[in-house]
């Protein structure tokens, strides 16, 4: 165990795709995720940014092995996770856990909320004594900023969304995980508790936890992460260091997203963006072609899918208007 | 003065007693004003909106007076409110996506809706089509069932329905919260467009997202635990708020360009009080860094400068000294 800890651990996504068969007889294909590659290093927070339907949750679920990949491979510490079975899979879940958007639907309303901790104990730590376990639960709850006396022995409806969400993070922490998939965990919370959960993630990060932070809120992504991946209809359109992307968004889609973020220091510019995303088939051209204000037929935007290129150091973009090193 | 609310008090009846969700709200919304109503969940913003249009059990009207265009609204009387509902005052509900009848085509449903208000569907069809254009929906939706539309399209359709009879006051209850940034922007701009085109005279936008309000609202009203905390023009609320709750709330919002490593934001410690048996006096007292002896009395909601209302003893004290 200790020797493994010293190695550089890493989650790596290698050209993963997810294709769903849709239509009456499964004749049509829906590409939810196409050829996505990126990696999350030790103690790194990576934001996965995109609108609804961009495939960001699908990627999170594939990492958690809740759904299978259609092609490509996800590896954790060099091991392909699709090959994991039984004991090895359990060991994987000991290291990798997820927390999801809606804290209220993550609990069974019939049971008390702290049942999630009991299940963890039954599954992963049957050898630990009750008293020892209870102290562990209490110290973990304190670590996520909850007062154990206030929150234990309560039903889900007696707790607030922020408390339930922190419960779920505490549950993940009990396992001493290395990687957390945080899927829109802030969006259901109130502004005053939002920052507390964000700061909690930041603290965990400084303790060496790697986080995939899935969000549609760009300001939250900027606050917490050093790397950002922007998705549009299942494709990575831009990725790189958060500062570079935010200060200098290159892809027209990222620019549009930046322009739409409601900010407290600037009003929306009078950029009228055509938001009718036509639900057409995925063509061979750039995925953003129909909504792109600067699409150019001569550049072949409608015919060729641009590949992800490094526009400046540590800043990638998939747009035919940019070529390597420009 | 389009809408005037005076000392409106609404409680929820429960077996354990009254939940005091709205305590003595007094404010006005002017003609052509877009007022934002913001606060945490459970602060009473939806209660306030619903008590203006559809005050049903377990809500209980305690006291207060609401006038719209110099006419008193019988908010406590479900039957008499029928004359005003939809015609004079209309709402885009929080779950607009589930608001339509799934067994009717949308055009048919609209026709039935208008007939119930004794309005001729044929005559209003051109206007309906113009409004569909306004929200960028194709006219074909009238021949579709709600299930054939995406969530965002349903939301826009409900927006068209709610302004069909040119209400004097439109209430938009959390219309942007389930959407992603680009649709959020589109929907918010549509609300402004409705006002500009005269589809409705004034708008109350309820949201917990203050940055949206900064983009579209003329004024912002902040609520906390059933009480009004502060109301002022948007710029004043964002740039020079006076109430300690508003200050903490604004400073806890992450913005683009802020990183936790450089500037660690802080939330507001503690949580809002239970409204079943709320503390007497200022309800923010327990979480307030400035609280002092006087705060056990309930602060009145007073205009300290022109169009700037605050309910805080500390602010009154500072003002008296200045």
Specify the DSSP element, H or E, that contains A95. helix A86-95
Query: For the CA atoms of chain A, what is the radius of gyration?
Result: 21
With cut-offs at 50, 70 and 90, classify the pLDDT of residue A9. Answer: low
Read off φ and ψ for residue A287, nearest 5 degrees: -65, -25
pLDDT for res B230: 94
The overall average pLDDT reported for chain A is: 81
Beta bridge partner(s), residue A73: A14
Contacts of B104 (CB under 8 A, 6+ apart): B112, B145
pLDDT for res B27: 92
Specify the DSSP element, H or E, that contains B37. strand B34-38
- Please, are residues A20 and A29 in contact by the beta-carbon 8 Å criterion? yes
With cut-offs at 50, 70 and 90, classify the pLDDT of residue A17. Answer: very high
With cut-offs at 50, 70 and 90, classify the pLDDT of residue B128. Answer: very high
- Chain B's closest residue to A194, CA to CA, is B267
pLDDT for res A302: 73
Place of tokens 């950002």: A228
User: Which tens digit of pLDDT belongs to each residue from A125-156?
Assistant: 888 888 999 998 988 888 777 888 878 888 88
pLDDT for res A282: 45
- Chain B's closest residue to A244, CA to CA, is B257
The structure's pTM equals: 0.78
C-alpha B4: how far from chain center: 14
- Please, are residues B11 and B78 in contact by the beta-carbon 8 Å criterion? no
Nearest to B181 among A246, A257, A265 (CB): A257
Place of tokens 């779920």: A168
With cut-offs at 50, 70 and 90, classify the pLDDT of residue A324. Answer: low
pLDDT for res B259: 79
Name the token pair of A163.
């408390």
Residue A18 has pLDDT above 60, yes or no: yes
Residue A269 has pLDDT above 70, yes or no: no
Contacts of A174 (CB under 8 A, 6+ apart): A117, A120, A136, A137, A140
- Chain A's closest residue to B214, CA to CA, is A264
User: Which tens digit of pLDDT belongs to each residue from A94-122?
Assistant: 889 999 888 888 888 899 888 888 888 88
Least confident of A213-227, A236-250, A290-304: A290-304
Residue B203 has pLDDT above 90, yes or no: yes
Q: What is the rounded CA–CA span in Å between residue A63 and residue A84?
A: 12
pLDDT for res A163: 81
Least confident of A13-27, A57-71, B301-315: A13-27
C-alpha B143: how far from chain center: 32
Residue B51 has pLDDT above 80, yes or no: yes
User: Which tens digit of pLDDT belongs to each residue from A69-79?
Assistant: 999 999 998 88
- Chain B residue set in contact with A, beta carbons under 8 Å: 40-41, 136, 179-186, 188-189, 208-212, 214-215, 238, 248-250, 252-260, 264-268, 271
Name the token pair of A202.
């930041």
Read off φ and ψ for residue B38, nearest 5 degrees: -130, 155
Place of tokens 């259609």: A70
User: Which tens digit of pLDDT belongs to each residue from A247-267?
Assistant: 888 888 888 888 787 777 666
Q: At what angle do helices A161-174 and A130-143 cross, to 10 degrees?
A: 130
Mutate to test the interface with B, among A186, A191, A233 (most CBs of B within 10 A): A191
pLDDT for res A272: 39
Residue B153 gets which letter from DSSP? H
Is B258–A223 a contact, with Cβ atoms under 8 angstroms apart? yes
Residue B35 has pLDDT above 90, yes or no: yes
Between A191 and B74, residue with greater pLDDT:
B74
Name the token pair of B318.
């500072």
**ipTM > 0.90 for the complex:** no
Residue B321 has pLDDT above 70, yes or no: yes
| Three-state SS annotation for A126-179 | CCCCHHHHHHHHHHHHHHCCCCHHHHCCCCHHHCCHHHHHHHHHHHHHHCCCCE
With cut-offs at 50, 70 and 90, classify the pLDDT of residue B232. Answer: very high
Is B249–A202 a contact, with Cβ atoms under 8 angstroms apart? no
Read off φ and ψ for residue A168, nearest 5 degrees: -65, -35
Q: What is the rounded CA–CA span in Å between residue B132 and residue B145?
A: 16
End-to-end CA distance of chain B: 31
pLDDT for res A271: 38
Is A261–B181 a contact, with Cβ atoms under 8 angstroms apart? yes
Residues of A in contact with B189 (CB under 8 A): 268
User: Which tens digit of pLDDT belongs to each residue from A86-101?
Assistant: 888 988 998 899 998 8
pLDDT for res B246: 92
pLDDT for res A311: 82
Residues of B in contact with A246 (CB under 8 A): 256-257
Read off φ and ψ for residue A219, nearest 5 degrees: -70, -35
Q: What is the rounded CA–CA span in Å between residue A155 and residue A201?
A: 25
Q: What is the rounded CA–CA span in Å between residue A201 and residue A207?
A: 10
- Chain A's closest residue to B249, CA to CA, is A192
- Please, are residues B85 and B62 in contact by the beta-carbon 8 Å criterion? no
With cut-offs at 50, 70 and 90, classify the pLDDT of residue A210. Answer: very high
Residue B140 has pLDDT above 60, yes or no: yes
């Amino acid at each position: 165990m200790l020797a493994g800890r010293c190695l550089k651990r890493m989650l790596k996504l290698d050209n993963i795709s997810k294709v769903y068969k849709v239509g009456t007889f499964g004749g049509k294909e829906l590409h939810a995720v196409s050829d996505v590659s990126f990696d999350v290093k030790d103690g790194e927070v990576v934001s996965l940014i995109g609108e609804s339907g961009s495939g960001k949750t699908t990627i999170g679920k594939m990492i958690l092995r809740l759904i299978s990949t259609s092609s490509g491979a996800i590896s954790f510490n060099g091991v392909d996770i699709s090959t994991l079975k039984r004991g090895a899979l359990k060991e994987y879940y000991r290291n990798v856990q997820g927390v999801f958007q809606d804290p209220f639907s993550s609990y069974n309303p019939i049971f008390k909320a702290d049942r999630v901790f009991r299940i963890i104990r039954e599954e992963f730590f049957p050898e630990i004594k009750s008293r020892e376990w209870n102290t562990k639960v209490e110290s973990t709850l304190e670590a996520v900023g909850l007062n154990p006396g206030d929150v234990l022995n309560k039903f889900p409806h007696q707790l607030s969304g922020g408390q339930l969400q922190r419960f779920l993070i505490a549950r993940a922490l009990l396992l001493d995980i290395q990687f957390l998939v945080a899927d829109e965990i802030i969006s259901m919370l109130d502004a005053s508790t939002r920052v507390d959960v964000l700061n909690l993630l930041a603290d965990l990060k400084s303790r060496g936890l790697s986080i995939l932070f899935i969000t549609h809120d760009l300001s939250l992504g900027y606050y917490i992460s050093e790397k950002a991946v922007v998705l549009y209809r299942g494709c990575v359109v831009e990725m790189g260091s958060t500062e570079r992307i935010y200060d200098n968004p290159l892809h027209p889609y990222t620019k549009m997203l930046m322009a739409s973020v409601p900010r407290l220091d600037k009003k929306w510019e009078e950029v009228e963006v055509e938001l009718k995303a036509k639900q057409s088939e995925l063509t061979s051209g750039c995925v953003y072609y129909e909504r792109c204000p600067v699409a150019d037929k001569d550049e072949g935007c409608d015919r060729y899918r641009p590949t992800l290129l490094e526009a400046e150091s540590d800043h990638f973009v998939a747009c035919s208007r940019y070529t390597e090193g420009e | 003065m389009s809408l005037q609310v005076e000392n409106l008090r609404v409680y929820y009846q429960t077996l354990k007693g009254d939940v005091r969700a709205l305590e003595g709200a007094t404010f006005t919304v002017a003609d052509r004003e877009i007022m934002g109503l913001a606060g945490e969940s459970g602060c009473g913003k939806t209660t306030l909106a619903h008590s203006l249009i559809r005050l049903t059990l377990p809500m209980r009207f305690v006291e207060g007076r609401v006038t719209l265009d110099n006419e008193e609204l019988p908010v406590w009387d479900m039957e008499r409110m029928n004359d005003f509902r939809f015609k004079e005052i209309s709402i885009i509900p929080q779950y607009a996506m589930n608001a339509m009848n799934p067994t009717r085509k949308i055009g048919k449903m609209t026709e039935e809706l208008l007939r119930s208000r004794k309005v001729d569907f044929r005559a209003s069809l051109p206007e309906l089509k113009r409004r569909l254009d306004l929200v960028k929906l194709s006219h074909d939706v009238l021949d579709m069932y709600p299930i054939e539309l995406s969530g965002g399209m349903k939301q826009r359709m409900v927006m068209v329905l709610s302004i069909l009879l040119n209400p004097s006051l439109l209430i938009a209850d959390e219309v942007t919260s389930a959407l992603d940034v680009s649709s959020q922007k589109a929907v918010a701009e549509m609300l402004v467009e409705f006002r500009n085109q005269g589809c409705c005279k004034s708008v109350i936008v309820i949201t917990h997202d203050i940055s949206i309000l900064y983009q579209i609202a003329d004024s912002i009203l902040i609520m906390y635990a059933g009480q009004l905390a502060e109301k002022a023009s948007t710029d004043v609320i964002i740039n020079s708020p006076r109430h300690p709750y508003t200050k903490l709330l604004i400073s806890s919002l992450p913005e683009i360009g802020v990183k936790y490593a450089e500037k660690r934001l802080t939330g507001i410690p503690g949580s809002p009080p239970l409204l079943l048996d709320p503390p007497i006096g200022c309800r923010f007292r327990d979480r307030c860094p400035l609280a002092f002896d006087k705060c056990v009395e309930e602060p009145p909601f007073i205009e300290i400068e022109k169009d700037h209302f605050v309910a805080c003893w500390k602010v009154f004290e500072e003002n008296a000294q200045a």
